[in-house]
Each structure stands twice: as structure tokens, then as C-alpha cells.
Amino acid sequence: MENFLLKNIENPDSADIEEYLKIGGYKNIAKAFELEPKAIIEEVKKAGLRGRGGAGFPTAMKWSFAAADPKFPKYLLCNADEGEPGTFKDRPILEKNPHLLIEGMVISGYALGAEYGYIYLRGEYPHAKDVLNKAISQAYEKNYLGDNILGKSIKFHLAVHQGAGAYICGEETALIESLEGKRGQPRTRPPFPVNVGAWAMPTVVNNVETLCNIPYIISIGSEAYSQIGSKDCPGPKLYCVSGCVEKPGVYELPMGTSLKDIIFNHAGGIKGGKKLKAVIPGGISTPVLPESMIDCPMDFSSMPKHGSMLGSGAVIVMDESVCMVKVTYRALKFFEHESCGKCTPCREGTEWLRKSLGRIERGEGREGDIELLQEISENIMGKTFCPLGDGAAGVVLGMLKHFKGEFEEKIKAKGSRV
Amino acid sequence: MLSETVLKEIEEIKAKYPSARSALLPALYVAQREFGWQSEKAMQAVAQALNLPEAEVRGTATFYSMYKHKPMGRHLIQLCTNVSCMILGAERLVDFLKNRYGLTQNGTTADGRFSLVIMECIGGCDMAPAMLLNTDFYGDLTEEKIGEILGGYK
Ligand SMILES: Cc1cc2nc3c(=O)[nH]c(=O)nc-3n(C[C@H](O)[C@H](O)[C@H](O)COP(=O)(O)O)c2cc1C
């Protein structure tokens, strides 16, 4: 499969509008403007596009809710928070292919009736901020953004909003709070952002990669697009592989490529010829899989059947030398730090989990600690305001399911396993 | 106080949004650039510029980890220790920075040259272990390499 999302990124000037135009960039805007907005939503629906931000929500459905709301103005927000540990799949687009994102946003805005867009960019990507701002001003100059795009009286304005280091702001309602200048704490739903979102107006939040698939659908048509990858969630997918592999990096592959294939064929296998032990397949919030379970298609519907989730497509590979207790402890340190404090099960639960895990990790584990971890996790799962808490609990439960022995061993031995 | 130029810059930021409050995060970045950190004065100046209660400004400024609540060194080392970096040796780098420069989490060297912030994932996992030094990414770090890189920042 030829790359679309990562097309031309080996070109050192790929972020420049002239280079993008040379490879046929921005042509899909004109093509999309030939269609009625409704027809574009229909195309995206037929294409079967599902959101790449982690939840796999059908994009056309989200759009149609916002489009049907009579309130104006509507807003299109691009989620470029990319905070899920292990995830760096949007970074090559943001740093090297910004015009693809802009093109996707202009078409999406037209389809759902939004004339204003913001890219919510994580504070940890300062280089991407400069690239995006430059690309946006180039797009204004060439009339791909503004009040009268391509002379068609179609309006779309775009700006970058920089986050400031808070994982929770990747959650779409917290993202909206943060865009409004507040602490990033999730909102109660309903009402959903598609009806009451940014500044109380209909708002669509889509991931970077999702929006970059729109020009592709327009370009090759929904029929051809729907033939790529998995049947019920087609299209190209960016998988980012890190940890103990020979060739870490971002790989654009058909959705549903097997985890084994991603690790061994694309990412070059395990570093230094060591033995694979476990994989976190979709970012730190997704349950771990032991080596014996990696023969599974990486898509939204298959992964839950294999006991995990596609998440952000962030594959973290761990070889035989990696201690699972340590990984779990580090993950929980993260969740405790990032818990926004709004709801009790997450705020307190992540702290208790971190403390109990820390004790085991330091060799001070007590009998009953495993049951305690289990119980705290179960008391978080499904009881929190947003999925951050579920993620934390799922990590611990997944680790206990597959690597309980390692925890027991460490409690008994009262020391590190290394 | 913020200079006329800086106030104008904040006015321009405000114009990008339908509500002035939305300019708070970017205005805090501007204040941090001007004052070096979120001092009482900095937060007051932002509150004034955006016509917001100081408590709201402080509440927001303390929520986000990239706003600093004490003065920082000339160069900011943001070192990732999350799982992908940890399993490839980030902890050794933490030890190295401590032993060689006396740097600990949120600390600054005695000469004011470096501050260290231990980060959650910075999205540099393909080049783990990774760090941001001011606004530049550095990856595939080893003790030796990090020492060399820091040598280039005076
Ligand atoms: C704690 C948390 C963090 C999230 N972080 C991100 C993120 O960094 N990027 C992202 O696109 N979606 C993230 N999401 C998912 C968003 O809430 C939302 O579902 C997504 O942006 C929708 O876009 P999509 O439909 O295009 O997938 C996060 C969700 C949660 C609960």
C-alpha cells in the first residue's frame, strides 16, 4: 500500500505549501466543494471511517449530529494533544505534513457547517507549533483558508491553541474546557459536545489522523477506501512502535494488520535478538498482552476480543528483561499525576494503586497486596467520571491477569526481580 | 506590569477567540516568557489584561504542569521517564543528572544554568530515551550523549 498520511515526509521541505501542491495537495478541497455538505458526510459514512483518537467512534455519525443542530456558529476542533504514553503517531503529520491536516479540516468544516477551527496542540510539541502556524499563514495566503476559499464564498478560519502539559486535556470535554481558558476537567455528558461544546455551540472534536483521512476519502472515493484493511473499520492506520524493537517508528499500514506482523516485519523484531515478553498494544491505557497473544488484528473490533484495545495504536514492546511490576508502577505514577482530581474513585484510587505498587516494587510488599490491587481496581473501573480511571484500573487488572506470578514472586522475595 | 507591546500581543491573541477568557492559556505563556515564571506579579498582570479574577488565573495556572511556579534556570531540561523511555534506560539518565549536575526533579543547578523537569510522555518514544531541551528534541540518549549535549548550552 502506498502511503497517504505519511506521503512525501522524507522530503525535508514537505511542510512547505509549494511541496504539498507539487504532489497534488489541496486538490481535494475543490473536489469536495463540488459536493453538497450532506453528500460529503454520506461519503465518509460509506467509507466507514472511525475516529483514530482511541474510541473508534464513527466519524460521519458524529458530524451528522453537529450538522443537524440548528445553532451557529459551529466549531471543529482538532485533537492534537497526543498525550497517551507511547503515542507519537500524529507528530510526523504535525511536523511534516501540516497541509494535509489543514486540507482535511477545511473539507470537514464545510461538511458539518463549521466556519471556525482550532488545533489543540500539546505543549510538548513546540516545533510542531511553529510548523503549523507557518502552514496556516501559507494556506491563508493561497486562499485555502479565509472568508472566500477558492472564490466559492466558503469560509473557514483556523488557529492553533497550545496546551500546557495535562494528559486529561486529550479527553474531548476537558479539551474544550482548556480551550475556553479553564482547568482541564471533563464535563458532564449529556449534553454532548456535538450540541453543546466549545462556547456552548455545536462542536466536533476529531483526532489529527481522523481528519487527515478525509482528503483520502474524497480523493479515491468511499468505495475504494472501504476496501482498505478491516471491513468494519477500514482505511490506513498509523501504528507507532516503541520500546525493545530494532526499528521504532511510525508505520502507515492497512487497519487490522496483525500485531505480530507490525512488530516482527515492520519494526524489525526484538532489539538485540532478545525474547519478546509482552506488548502494550494501544498506549499505556490499554491492557498488556503476553507474547503468546500477539497474533491478533490491530483494529477497533478485534482487539477487545483479544483482551485489549486498539487505543491510539501505540505499540510498546517489552523484552524478557523488563520487569512487569516496575512497568505497572510507572504507569500508575503517570495516572496519579494526570488524574484531574474531579472524581473520587480516580483521584484517590490512582494514588492508592501507585502506593501499593510502589511498596511491592521496593520489596516491601505484603501478603494480600495482590487482592488489594484487584479490589481497588475494580472499585475504579466503571465508576469514574471519564475513562482515565478505567484506563488506570485496566492496566493493573491486565497485568495481574497475565503476570500475577511476577507480582507474587516479588512480594515473596521482597526485592526486585531484575 | 506588562509593557505596551506585550499587552498588544495579548489583545491580538484575544481576537482569535469568541471569548477573552480563552486567551488565558496563551497569555500565561506570554507572562512566563516575560517574568520567567508564574510569580504573583505575573498572574496579577494576566488577570488584569484579561479582566479575570486572580483566583481563576491562579487556579488555571497551577493546573497545568508547563507553567512554572518558581524561577527556572536558563535552560530547561524536560526528560521523559515514562514506560517507553524507562525500559530503554531513562532512569540511568536521571541518576546521571543528579550525580553530575546535582539536578533533581524541579531543581536548578547552583549556577542557574539548568533546571530539570521529569516529564510524562513527550511523544519522543521512537527515539527513547528522549528529552526536550528548551524547545529542541534530543533522543537515543546515553549518559555520555546527554553530557555532550548539555555542554553546548551555556
Ligand atoms: C484520558 C483521555 C485522553 C485522551 N487523549 C486523546 C488524545 O491525546 N488525542 C486524541 O485524539 N484523543 C484523545 N482522547 C479521545 C478523545 O476524548 C476523543 O474521543 C477523540 O479526540 C475523538 O476523535 P476521533 O473521533 O477522531 O477519534 C482521550 C480520551 C481520554 C478519556
Enter the ipTM.
0.97
Determine, for residues B135 and A126 on separate chains, whether the beta-carbon distance falls below 8 Å: yes
pTM for the complete prediction? 0.97
For residue A415, pLDDT over 90 is answered with no
Closest C-alpha among A55, A314, A67 to residue A170: A55
Separation of A64 CA from ligand 1 center, angstroms?
Answer: 19
pLDDT tens digit string along A3-32?
A: 999 999 999 999 999 999 999 999 999 999
For residues B25 and A169, the answer to whether their CB atoms sit within 8 Å is no
A163 C-beta neighbours (distance < 10 Å), count: 25
Ordered structural domains, chain B, with CATH = 4-63 (1.10.10), 75-151 (3.40.30.10)
> How far apart are alpha carbons B114 and A74 in whole angstroms?
44
Query: What number of H helices and E strands is found in chain B?
Result: 7, 4
* B60 sits in which H/E element: helix B54-61
For residue A418, pLDDT over 60 is answered with no
Would you identify the CATH topology of the domain A17-226?
Rossmann fold (3.40.50)
E strands in chain B: 75-80, 114-119, 131-133, 136-138
Q: Rounded to the nearest 10 degrees, how much is the dihedral formed by the CA atoms of B15, B19, B22, B23?
A: 40
Residue-averaged pLDDT of chain A: 97
Render A12-61 in DSSP notation, one character per residue: TTTTSHHHHHHTTTTHHHHHHHTS-HHHHHHHHHHHT-B-TTTT--BHHH
Closest C-alpha among A265, A264, A261, A266 to residue A251: A266
> How far apart are alpha carbons A305 and A299 in whole angstroms?
10
Residue A36's Cβ-count burial label (10 Å; 0-12, 13-18, 19+) is exposed
Determine, for residues A163 and B83 on separate chains, whether the beta-carbon distance falls below 8 Å: no
CATH number given to A236-319: 3.10.20.600
Question: To 10 degrees, what angle do helices A387-413 and A324-338 make?
Answer: 140
Best residue in B12, B14, B25, B77 to probe A by mutation, most A CBs within 10 Å?
B25
Q: List, chain by chain if needed, residues with CB within 6 Å of any ligand 1 atom.
A: A 51-55, 57, 59, 79, 81-84, 168, 170-172, 205-207, 210, 386-388
Contacts of A366 (CB under 8 A, 6+ apart): A359, A411
pLDDT band at B133 (very low <50, low <70, confident <90, very high): very high
Question: Is residue A169 helix, strand or coil?
Answer: helix
Output the pLDDT for position B1.
80
- Please report the atom of ligand 1 found closest to the CA of residue A338: 1
Determine, for residues A240 and B125 on separate chains, whether the beta-carbon distance falls below 8 Å: yes
Domain range annotation of chain A: 17-226, 236-319, 324-412
Separation of A203 CA from ligand 1 center, angstroms?
Answer: 14
Choosing among 1.10.1660.10, 3.40.710.10, 3.90.1640.10, 1.20.1440.230, the CATH entry for A324-412 is 1.20.1440.230
Q: Looking only at Cα atoms, what is the longest distance across chain B?
A: 50
Q: Is A168 on the interface with B (CB under 8 A)?
A: no
For residues A106 and A140, the answer to whether their CB atoms sit within 8 Å is no
Best residue in A96, A130, A330 to probe B by mutation, most B CBs within 10 Å?
A330
Cβ-based contacts under 8 A for chains A and B = 132
For residue A134, pLDDT over 50 is answered with yes
pLDDT tens digit string along A30-84?
A: 999 999 999 999 999 999 999 999 999 999 999 999 999 999 999 999 999 999 9
What mean pLDDT comes out for the span B12-27?
97
Q: Calculate ∠ Cα A98-A101-A105, nearest 5°.
A: 140
In sign, the C-alpha dihedral spanning B6, B12, B13, B14 is positive
pLDDT band at A417 (very low <50, low <70, confident <90, very high): very low
For residue B101, pLDDT over 50 is answered with yes
Nearest protein Cα to ligand 1, atom 20: A53
Residue-averaged pLDDT of chain B: 97
CA nearest to A160 within chain B: B16
For chain B, the residue count is 154
A149, β-bridge pairs: A154
pLDDT tens digit string along A167-223?
A: 999 999 999 999 999 999 999 999 999 999 999 999 999 999 999 999 999 999 999
